[in-house]
Amino acid sequence: MTTSRPPIHATAYWTTAKEHGELRPEELPAPGPGQALVRALYSGISKGTEMVVHHGSVPPRVAKEMAAPHQEGQFPGPVKFGYLSVGVVEAGPAGWIGQRVFCLNPHQDRYVVPLDALTKIPDGVPSRRAVLTGTVETAINALWEAGPRLGDRVAVVGAGLVGGMVATLLRTFPLQRLQLVDLDPGRRQLAATLGVEFAHPDDALEDCDVVFHCSASQEGLERSLQLAGDEGDVIEMSWYANREVTLPLGEDFHARRLSIRASQVGVVARARRHRRTNADRLDLAVSLLTDPVFDAFITGASPFSELPETVQGLANGSLDALCHVIEYPQDRNLQDPTREDQR
């Protein structure tokens, strides 16, 4: 006699149309061999990319490349998108039960994924902070791409989440100088918290060996080229989606032999691609989050039930954030041991 399993109920956030999203119920299959059922604790909103998805601005030409690892549906929608999820394993192999994990999964309260899609969170990393794992991974990839050297002069243009992460990692390097550059004077406090020098674009120092551009603006990229010294490198980390960008490549760009290199987290940077896997990169990223300085990037939180309204607030500018965290209802048997209100 076969005993039927009770259905596993879940709720996920879907972008259903341009500038509209909603929570939808679904039923999950029981985890099979090599899989785990994860109950979400937190997820983070990747403001840049997720706002592009929310506005329906993903160019068809790169739709396949921009798909999240566990995405469902297609751009422009309906699509279930997101990739900063932290949870605890609810069912699966015995050694995984109760393990806190990071997963590149959309905003969903429970989900079934292969075990090799999960990154174990070290004991010294709070679960809320662990949602930053994917962004730290992006910054690591850019540093591997650039290969900063002893005594380098470096600028990071754009003090948002990604630019701030790059500066956070670089602050421990033996550089001659490091400046975090932004138009917004309010970012000065972030730079001070990180222990990094802040500069307005007009005051930023030129003759840089490496410039990381993270402002997602044409003006920021233009200024990055000006800050780079002769034969210097500009690492372009911004994604412009379907916006056109015009650059002054007819000035001294060729005479100074400048280089612009794209850095994108979809694949491991070329300098490490043969010796590091994506999983290795994620393990490194989450291990770095033992440093409490990363808490400076978590600037707000909302319950999962309010996620559609939260996304709208981020999109229309009524809600400002570096990383906005989504909090999920907790299960009594699988509570987050690092959550302060449960201690």
Q: pLDDT for 258-278, tens place per residue?
A: 999 999 899 999 999 999 999
Residues in CB range of 308: below 8 A, 6 or more apart: 13, 21, 22, 23
Answer yes or no: is pLDDT of 113 > 50.
yes
Q: Is the pLDDT of residue 341 over 70?
A: no
Write the CA distances from 58 to 9, 74, 215, integer angstroms. 30, 10, 18
Residues above pLDDT 90, as percent of the chain: 86
pLDDT of residue 65: 87
- Within 10 angstroms of residue 101's Cβ, the number of other Cβ atoms is 24
The whole-angstrom separation of Cα 271 and Cα 257 is 21
Q: Is the per-residue pLDDT at 340 higher than 80?
A: no
Listing DSSP states for 226-240 in one string gives: HHEEEEEEEEE----
pLDDT band at 1 (very low <50, low <70, confident <90, very high): very low
Q: Using alpha carbons, list the distances in angstroms from residue 237 to 56, 190, 230.
A: 21, 20, 21
Confidence of residue 92 (pLDDT cuts 50, 70, 90): very high
Residues of the chain with CATH 3.40.50.720: 139-267
Q: Give the mean pLDDT of the chain.
A: 94
* pLDDT at position 6: 78
pLDDT for residue 111 is more than 70: yes
Short-list 292, 319, 236, CA closest to 50: 319
Q: What is the pLDDT of residues 15-61, one digit of tens each?
A: 999 999 999 999 999 999 999 999 999 999 988 899 999 999 999 99
State in Å, rounded, how far the first CA of the chain is from the last one.
45
Chain region(s) in the chain for CATH 3.90.180.10: 8-125+290-342
Confidence of residue 342 (pLDDT cuts 50, 70, 90): very low
Whether the predicted pLDDT of 152 surpasses 90? yes
Q: What is the pLDDT of residues 177-210, one digit of tens each?
A: 999 999 999 999 999 999 999 999 999 999 999 9
Confidence of residue 332 (pLDDT cuts 50, 70, 90): low
Residue 63 pLDDT > 50, yes or no?
yes
Tell me what pLDDT residue 225 has: 97
Q: Could you tell me which CATH number the domain at 8-125+290-342 has?
A: 3.90.180.10
In the prediction, which pLDDT does 251 show? 87
Structural class in CATH, domain 139-267: alpha beta
